Structure 1
Amino acid sequence: MDRITAARVFVTVVERGSQTAAAEHLDMSRAMVSRYLGELEAWVGARLLHRTTRRLSLTGMGDELLPRCREMLALADDLQDRGRRADDGPSGNLRIASSQSFASAWLAPALAEFVARHPAVTLDLQASSQAVNLVEERIDLALRITNQLDPNLIARRLATCRSVICATPAYLARHGTPRVPAELSRHNCLTYTYFGRSLWQFERDGEPLTVPVGGNLSANESSVLLEACLADAGIARQPLYAVAPLLRAGRLVALLPEYRVEALGIHAVYGSRRQMLPALRALLDF
């Protein structure tokens, strides 16, 4: 039995949802797909899939074996890639996940420069407001802005994300300008669903300060809150990379300059150091 092919068949059946779809994707007959699955189950000594006329589902052993098969395939592909392209530089496809605001403001131009340097690499950027599951979504690299990382993942800190509290001149003309963080409680604060929705963290002279905030609009994407802020809807906490041009142009005003907003780490998150693709290593170094 070709165990690499059998593992690839198993993973593809799970990802595609049926043996028929897997057979079409792998360009083999459905009977051959069934044969590989049967031989893999015979080799491990346990059933991996519950097969019914309507759907497939993983058994307990199948659920345990799936990530190991994916690791084995990644290693096999890496070995093949190293042998075939040893002198050609990084190549292949990478799937990258990032928040929409970070991808638009900073990541996309950087990726454009990277693929210009490495034309044999192709990138698939998934922009989402939620943290994705790297294994289930087949993500090679996720960019996350947070101070609370999953300890089961490998992370490389790339930079620091600094934020500002800001509002439009029109909003401040109507509602006044807060001079200390406590005055934010009297304002309409636009909050991010997944971070600091009701508490904003500050620091002054080394002393931390937590301020409860609230308002009539929250969202799961900071770029949406930025647009609402520009429409005079309220006060927002925004990453400096997104609002720096707007502050310089006078469209937004930075508030509470004597208080530093909590900084967040910008991290590259990936699944494994041992089976790292050359293209991923090159991208991380870049």
Structure 2
Amino acid sequence: MDKLRAMQAFIHIADEGSLTAAARVMESSLPAMVRTLAAFEAQLGVRLFNRSTRRISLTEEGRRHLESCRQLLATLEDAEAALTADAGEPAGHLTITAPMLFGQMHVAPAVTRFVQKYDKMRCSMVLLDRVVNLLEEGIDVGIRIGMLDDSSLVAQPVGHIRRLVVASPAWLRRHGVPQHPRDLLKANCVRVTDHATAWGPFNDKGRQLRLAVSGNLEFNQIAPAVAACAAGAGLGMFFSYQVAPFLKTKQLRCVLEDFEPPPRPIHVVYPHARLLPKRTRVFIEWIKEELRPFQG
């Protein structure tokens, strides 16, 4: 058995989610891929995948061994690249995760431009509004907003975003412009489910102030909440990137800027590795440049 090819097959099966797709990527036949996986599992003495007629998924042993195989092949790839002075374009597969709306607005277009420039690259994007375990879920690079608490990751700061209170000009004319965060307690606030009641922390003369706001509209997604505020439904609290198009067209206006919470950092994160594959290194530099506007 060619162990390196078996490792490659194992990674492709995990990345593609099926033996058929992995065989296509490796330009092999399905029976050959089945034999390779069976021989690899037999050599290791463990089952790497749970298989049924409809789906294939990693076992716990498979998840652990997947990262080891990725690191081993990455080290080999870098060693070979070093012999040729890292020549040539990046190639291979990258999986990238980002928050849903930020990913849609800023990361996905950057990834699209990346694969257009480097046509030997294939990228998969996973947009989720939860903290993803990169190692367990086989993700190469993540974009994170907010403070980090996972010391197992390498994190590079790429910028920051503000948290703003906004309303439509029409709503502010009817109800008045709030002068202090406590004015929010008497106003109709459009809320988002995950942080529906506690807004803040506002900076009130060096003290942090959180407020249990209320209102007659609540959404489980950001986009309709922003649209409702732009339509004059009430005040909303959002990240700056979420409302940027509406601020630009003056459909929304910022209020309480003197009490604004501290900005939240944006990081590009990836697992610790002595040697990263060239594709990962090139993408990290690419996304840092793409997100440069958030450094201001």
TM-score between the two structures when normalised by the length of structure 2: 0.76
Aligned to 2:23: 23
Aligned length: 283
Partner AA of 1:218 in structure 2: F
Deviation at 1:209, TM superposition (A): 1.0
Q: Superposed, which structure 2 residues align to 1:37-186 within 5 Å?
A: 37-50=37-50, 56=56, 58-81=58-81, 83=83, 86-88=86-88, 94-103=94-103, 106-107=106-107, 119=118, 122=121, 124=123, 126=125, 128-131=127-130, 132-135=132-135, 138-186=138-186
Contact kept in structure 2, 1:98 and 1:125, CA below 8 Å: no
Contact kept in structure 2, 1:94 and 1:121, CA below 8 Å: no
Contact kept in structure 2, 1:144 and 1:267, CA below 8 Å: yes
**Which stretch of the first structure deviates more once superposed, 82-91 or 145-154?**
82-91
* Alpha-carbon separation, structure 2, partners of 1:193 and 1:170: 25
* Alpha-carbon separation, structure 2, partners of 1:17 and 1:142: 20
Q: Kindly, what percent of the aligned residue pairs are identical?
A: 33
Deviations 1:182-203 (A, max 9, x none): 2212223233444x33212111
Aligned to 2:198: 199
Aligned to 1:218: 219
Q: Secondary structure at the match of 1:182?
A: helix
Q: Secondary structure at the match of 1:23?
A: helix
TM-score between the two structures when normalised by the length of structure 1: 0.78
Q: Which runs of 5+ in 2 are unaligned?
A: 290-296
Deviation at 1:208, TM superposition (A): 1.0
Q: Cα gap change, 1:161/1:32 in structure 2, threshold over 3 Å: closer, same or farther?
A: same
Q: Superposed, which structure 2 residues align to 1:187-266 within 5 Å?
A: 187-194=187-194, 196-200=195-199, 201-215=201-215, 216-221=217-222, 223-243=223-243, 246-247=246-247, 250-266=250-266
Aligned to 1:8: 8
Q: Secondary structure at the match of 1:164?
A: strand
Deviations 1:96-133 (A, max 9, x none): 333354346555676688779x6567574737342345
Q: Cα gap change, 1:113/1:219 in structure 2, threshold over 3 Å: closer, same or farther?
A: same
Q: Cα gap change, 1:13/1:265 in structure 2, threshold over 3 Å: closer, same or farther?
A: same
Aligned to 1:32: 32
Partner AA of 2:198 in structure 1: L
Q: Cα gap change, 1:235/1:126 in structure 2, threshold over 3 Å: closer, same or farther?
A: farther
Q: Cα gap change, 1:42/1:105 in structure 2, threshold over 3 Å: closer, same or farther?
A: closer
Deviations 1:26-69 (A, max 9, x none): 33334433332233233323343455666555444334323322
* Alpha-carbon separation, structure 1, partners of 2:154 and 2:36: 33
Partner AA of 2:127 in structure 1: S
Contact kept in structure 2, 1:164 and 1:239, CA below 8 Å: yes
Contact kept in structure 2, 1:121 and 1:279, CA below 8 Å: no
Q: Which runs of 5+ in 1 are unaligned?
A: none
* Alpha-carbon separation, structure 2, partners of 1:240 and 1:50: 43
* Alpha-carbon separation, structure 1, partners of 2:17 and 2:115: 33
